[in-house]
A and B are shown apart, each in its own frame.
Chain A
Amino acid sequence: MTTVAWTRRRFAVSAFWRSFRADREGLIGLISLLVIAVIALAAPLLASATELSPTKATGPVLAAPSLEYPFGTDDSGRSVLLLVIWGSRVSLLVGLAATLISMVIGTVVGVAAGHFGGAGGFLTRFAGGTLNRLTEWFLVIPYLPLAIALMVVAIRYNLPLVLAVIIVIGITSWPSTARLVRAQTLAIEGRPYIERAKVLGAGHWHQMTRHVLPNVMPLVLANTTLTVSIAILAETTLSFLGLGSGDSISWGTIISSARNHVAMSNGQWWWFLFPGIAVVVVVRAFNMCGRALERILDPRLKERS
C-alpha cells in the first residue's frame, strides 16, 4: 500500500466518524454499548462468582426488589441484578462470536459468488452460480427450526454448550450477509477500475482481496451490527427453549428458570422482567448503531433525508 492510499483511507475514516457523530440515534446506541461492555467486563469486580452459586447464595428466597436487592432475588436467594450482570458476559460473547462466524462465511461466500458468477469461463461461472444457489437455499430455511435441529445434534456429540450455541447461530445466520455481499460485489465489479486491474493482469485473488473486499467491508460492517442483535436474540431464545448455554448464566437461562418456576403466575415479575429488559436494551443499542451505519453508508438513504 502506498502512503497516498493510507492518507485517503484516513480521510475516509474521519469523514465517516464525523457523520456518525452527527447521527443522534447512532451515537446514543454506541454510548449505551460502551457502558454495557464496561459493565460486562467489570462483572468479576462487581460480584464474586461464589455469590452466584445456588448453594452459597445468602439472600432471602424470592424477595421482591428492595434497596439491598434492586432487582429482587431468585428461588435460591441469588440477586437477580448480579445474575443479569454476569449473564451479559455469555450473551455478549455468544452474540459477538456467532456474528464473527456468520460474517466470515457470509463475506467469503458472497464475494466468491459475486466474483465468479459474473464472468469468466464455464467452470468459474458454474462455481459462482452454485454458491449463489446454495445461499438462496439456506436463506429459505427458517432459522429457529434449523438451529434447534443443529443444537440437538451438537448436544448428542457432547460439544461444550456455549461453543455449540456460537457455532449454530453463526452457521444459521450467514445467508443474508452472503446475499448482501454478493449484490455489492456485482455492483463493484461493474466499475471501470476492476477492468483496469484485469487488463494489468490481476488474478482472481488480487481482484477479490484488493479491490472488491475493501469496498464491500463498510456494508458488511453495518450488516454485522444488525446481525449481532439477531444473534443475541437467537441465543436468548435457544436458552429459553432449554437448548442454550446450560449451566452458565445467560439472560435466556435466567428467564427460562423463572418460567420453569411459573414466576408469571406467582407474581414474581422481577425474576423475568429485568433480564428481558437487559436483552431489549442491548439488542436495541445494536439496532440503533446498525441503522445509523446504514443511513451513513447507503447513499440512497442519504439523499432522501
Chain B
Amino acid sequence: MSETTGGGAARRRPRATGLGYVLRKVLGSVLTLLFVAVFNFFLFQILPGDPAKAFAPKGRNSDPEALAALRRQYGSGLSLWEKFTRYVDRMVHLDFGVSYTQHAEVTKVIGERLWPTVLLSGTALLLAAGIGVWIGARSGWRHGSRFDRSSSSIAVTAYSMPEWWLGLILIFAFASPGGLDIFPLTGMRDSRSTLPEWLDVAWHMVLPVASLAVVYIAEYSLIMRSSILDERYSEYLTVARAKGLRDDVVLRRHALPNALLPSVTLFLMSVGFIVSGAITVETIFSWPGLGLLTSEALRGPDVPLLQGVFIVFSAGVILMNLVADLVYPLLDPRVRRS
C-alpha cells in the first residue's frame, strides 16, 4: 500500500476540487434519499380501502372513537396533496407515525432494533471481507491451481445458496437435540445465562453470523479473485519480479493493493445484498434487529412500520454508496488526479 499512496500523496490536487467532488456526491445522495422517500409515500398510498379499518384491532376491541383517532392520524379523507405535505413534514422531523403491532413510535422502535442489526451484519461483513479477500487473492494468484478450482467451486455453490436455508441447516446441526446441541436456538441473550453479557451475546451470534458470513465470503472471494486476475499480467508485477522479490511479497505488496481498489467499492456497494440477508437470517434466529422487525411488520401489515424500515434500509445503502464514492479517490491516486 505504502508505495502507491506515497506516490500519489506527493502530487495531491488542491483541496478545492476535492470539496466540490464531496459536495456533488453528498448532494446526489440526498437527492436519491428524497426520491426513495417520495417513492415510499406513493407505494403505500396505492393501498386500497380505509387504512384505519384495515389496521385497527379487529373484533370486539374496535371502538368507534379509536377508529376515528386512527383515521385522523392516518389522514383519511384528506386530498393526496395534503397527505403528501403532511408526510414530507413528518419525514423532516423523523416522525414515521405510530406502529400498530408494536404500539410505539416507529422511530423509537427502529432505534431500539438498529444496534443488534449493525452488530450482527457488521461482524459478518468484517469477517467475510477478511476471509474473502484472502481466499480470493490466493485463488486468483494461483489461477487454475487445485486451491483455485476447489475454492471457486465452493464459492459458486455458496453464492447460489439462500443464506436462511444455510441457517436452518446450522440450527439442525448445532442447536437441536437431533444434532449437537451446543449453541442457543434463538434470540440475542439468555437471562438465565451465567456468562458475562458480552460473551453471552457473542455465543448467540455464532450461528447467525456463520450463516451470513458463508454467503458473503463466497461473494467477496469471487470479486477479489477476478480483480487479482485483472492485475496478474500487469507490467509492474513483471518489474517487481525482475527486482528479485519473492512471489509472496509481489502479491502482498504490489498486486494486492491494486486489486483491492475495485473490491473496496464493490464491498461497500453490496450492502443492498446484506439487507436481504439480515431480514431472513434475523427471522429464523429471532435476532431482535431490523430484519426481524420487518418480518414482524408483515403481519397486519403494519404499514407505518414497513414504511419506516424501508426508508432506514434504503438510507443505509445510500450511505454506504456515498462512503464508497468518497473513499475511492482517497485510496486510488489515479482517480484523484483525473
| A272 nearest in chain B by CB position | B168
B87 to chain A, nearest CB (A): 15
Question: In the complex, which residues of chain B have a beta carbon less than 8 angstroms from the beta carbon of A153?
Answer: 43-44, 46-47
Question: In the complex, which residues of chain A have a beta carbon less than 8 angstroms from the beta carbon of B175?
Answer: 264-265
Given the known inter-chain contacts A149-B43, A153-B47, A305-B143, please indicate yes or no for A140 contacting B272, CB distance below 8 A. yes
- Contact at A291–B314, with CB atoms within 8 Å? no
What interface size band does chain A fall in? Answer: 35 or more
A73 contacts the other chain (Cβ, under 8 Å)? no
| B307 nearest in chain A by CB position | A149
Given the known inter-chain contacts A143-B272, A152-B298, please indicate yes or no for A304 contacting B230, CB distance below 8 A. yes
Cα A156 to Cα B51 in complex, Å, equals 11
- Contact at B171–A145, with CB atoms within 8 Å? no
Contacting chain A: which of B70-78, B98-106, B129-137, B156-164? B156-164
Q: State the main secondary structure of chain A at its contact with B.
A: helix
B217 contacts the other chain (Cβ, under 8 Å)? no
The A236-261 residues at the B interface (CB cut-off 8 A) are 236-237, 240-243, 255, 258-259
- Contact at B165–A272, with CB atoms within 8 Å? yes
A244 to chain B, nearest CB (A): 12
Cα A142 to Cα B36 in complex, Å, equals 11
A281 to chain B, nearest CB (A): 8
Interface string of B162-194 (1 = CB under 8 A from A): 101100110110011110000001000000000
Question: In the complex, which residues of chain B have a beta carbon less than 8 angstroms from the beta carbon of A81?
Answer: none
Given the known inter-chain contacts A284-B156, A287-B159, please indicate yes or no for A237 contacting B176, CB distance below 8 A. no
Cα A15 to Cα B12 in complex, Å, equals 49
Summed over the interface, the residue pairs from A and B with CB atoms below 8 Å come to a total of 142
Q: State the main secondary structure of chain B at its contact with A.
A: helix
Partner among A137, A236, A240, A269 whose Cβ is within 8 Å of the Cβ of B172: A269
Cα A241 to Cα B298 in complex, Å, equals 9
Cα A220 to Cα B208 in complex, Å, equals 36
| B310 nearest in chain A by CB position | A145
Question: In the complex, which residues of chain A have a beta carbon less than 8 angstroms from the beta carbon of B39?
Answer: 137, 141
- Contact at B178–A142, with CB atoms within 8 Å? no
- Contact at A148–B298, with CB atoms within 8 Å? yes
Cα A291 to Cα B232 in complex, Å, equals 20
Given the known inter-chain contacts A145-B313, A152-B306, A304-B229, please indicate yes or no for A279 contacting B47, CB distance below 8 A. no
A265 to chain B, nearest CB (A): 5
A288 contacts the other chain (Cβ, under 8 Å)? yes
Given the known inter-chain contacts A267-B178, A284-B156, A305-B143, please indicate yes or no for A276 contacting B294, CB distance below 8 A. no
Partner among B43, B169, B230, B280 whose Cβ is within 8 Å of the Cβ of A237: B280
The B1-58 residues at the A interface (CB cut-off 8 A) are 32, 35-36, 39-40, 43-44, 46-49
Question: In the complex, which residues of chain B have a beta carbon less than 8 angstroms from the beta carbon of A157?
Answer: 48
Partner among A144, A265, A266, A280 whose Cβ is within 8 Å of the Cβ of B160: A280
A109 contacts the other chain (Cβ, under 8 Å)? no
- Contact at A279–B44, with CB atoms within 8 Å? no
- Contact at B306–A149, with CB atoms within 8 Å? yes
B97 to chain A, nearest CB (A): 16
Given the known inter-chain contacts A142-B317, A149-B43, please indicate yes or no for A259 contacting B168, CB distance below 8 A. yes
Partner among A152, A258, A259, A267 whose Cβ is within 8 Å of the Cβ of B301: A152
- Contact at B157–A284, with CB atoms within 8 Å? yes
- Contact at A287–B230, with CB atoms within 8 Å? no
Cα A267 to Cα B294 in complex, Å, equals 28
A100 contacts the other chain (Cβ, under 8 Å)? no
Question: In the complex, which residues of chain B have a beta carbon less than 8 angstroms from the beta carbon of A305?
Answer: 143, 229
B102 to chain A, nearest CB (A): 17
A233 contacts the other chain (Cβ, under 8 Å)? yes
Given the known inter-chain contacts A141-B36, A141-B317, A152-B306, please indicate yes or no for A266 contacting B178, CB distance below 8 A. yes
- Contact at A265–B177, with CB atoms within 8 Å? yes
- Contact at A279–B162, with CB atoms within 8 Å? yes
A176 to chain B, nearest CB (A): 10
Known pairs A156-B48, A279-B165, A284-B157. 20 more at Cβ < 8 A?
A141-B317, A142-B276, A144-B279, A149-B306, A149-B310, A152-B303, A237-B162, A241-B279, A241-B298, A242-B298, A255-B165, A258-B168, A264-B171, A272-B168, A276-B165, A276-B168, A280-B160, A280-B165, A287-B159, A305-B229
What residues make up the interface of A, taking CB atoms closer than 8 Å to B?
A: 136-137, 140-146, 148-150, 152-153, 156-157, 229, 233, 236-237, 240-243, 255, 258-259, 264-267, 269, 272-273, 276, 279-280, 283-284, 287-288, 291, 304-305
What are some 8 contacts across the A-B interface (CB < 8 A)? A144-B276, A145-B294, A149-B40, A149-B306, A255-B168, A264-B172, A264-B175, A267-B176
Give 9 nearest A-B pairs by CB, closest first. Answer: A267-B178, A144-B276, A283-B160, A284-B160, A142-B275, A142-B272, A276-B165, A264-B171, A264-B172
